[in-house]
Homo-oligomer: A and B are copies of this chain.
Amino acid sequence: MTGEGSARDRILAAARTLFYRDGIHVTGVERLTEHAKASKRTLYQHFSSKDRVVEEYLRGIHESGGMPNEKALDTVDSTPRNRLLAIFDGAPTDRFRGCPFHNAAVEAADEMRGVHDVVHEHKLWFIGRLTEVATEAGATDPYLLAHQLAVLFEGAVALATSLNDTVALSYARSAAEVLIDAAVRPAKD
Rounded to whole angstroms, the CA-CA distance of A97 and B153 in the bound complex is: 19
Main secondary structure of the interface of A (DSSP, over half): helix
What B residues does A147 contact at CB under 8 A? Answer: 168, 171
Interface size on A, residues (CB 8 A): 48
Say yes or no for A69: interface residue by CB 8 A criterion.
no
Closest to A155 in B: B155
What B residues does A101 contact at CB under 8 A? Answer: 162
Q: Are A159 and B164 in contact (CB under 8 A)?
A: no
What B residues does A148 contact at CB under 8 A? Answer: 171-172, 174-175
**Closest approach, in angstroms, between the C-beta of A41 and any C-beta of chain B?**
25
**Contacts A151-B171, A164-B116, A182-B182 hold; do A23 and B107 have CB atoms under 8 A apart?**
yes
Q: Which residues from chain A sit less than 8 Å from chain B, CB to CB?
A: 21-23, 25-26, 95, 97-99, 101-103, 105-107, 109-111, 116, 119-120, 123-124, 144, 147-148, 150-159, 161-164, 168, 171-172, 174-175, 178-179, 182
